[in-house]
Amino acid sequence: MTDSSSSTPVDRDRLPEVIRRYLAVHNAGEASASAALMTPDAQVIDDGKTYDGLPAIEGWLDRAASEYTYTTTYLGAARSGPDRWTVTQRLDGDFPGGTVDLRYDFVLDGGLISRLVIAP
């Protein structure tokens, strides 16, 4: 997770390419393209649930892409270490509550995403 006292704000175009690509394909609902940007032993934590490894992550991505319809608005990003980045996006859609700001905490390894924690 990101500690705001030790993070540095960054412009969207200064994010690592793998994060920019992940956000684009994930927001477009492209589950297999999203999973291709992760390490084989990646871990995703979303909505209090943990998904370990690509098969579990692909299942989560498929469900996430089909469960609700939403649009995203990029709100900002910060770097908290050489391989740690946080992106904040606003989601507006047909899910309960209709609007939520989510923080995506990324850990990279070898140019791929090895861990992603999504939380409000």
- Predicted confidence (pLDDT) at residue 69 exceeds the cutoff of 50: yes
Condensed to tens digits (0 to 9), the pLDDT of residues 18-36 reads 999 999 999 888 889 999 9
Mean pLDDT computed over 69-91: 95
- Looking at 26-35, 59-68, 96-105, 109-118, which range is the least confident one? 59-68
Q: Give the domain ranges of the chain.
A: 4-119
Tell me which of 95 and 92 has the higher pLDDT: 92
pTM of the model: 0.90
- Under 8 Å between Cβ of 37 and 22: yes
| Cα(57)–Cα(93) distance, integer angstroms | 22
Mean pLDDT computed over 88-111: 95
- pLDDT value, residue 2: 42
- Predicted confidence (pLDDT) at residue 99 exceeds the cutoff of 80: yes
> At 117, which amino acid appears?
V
Q: What is the CATH number of domain 4-119?
A: 3.10.450.50
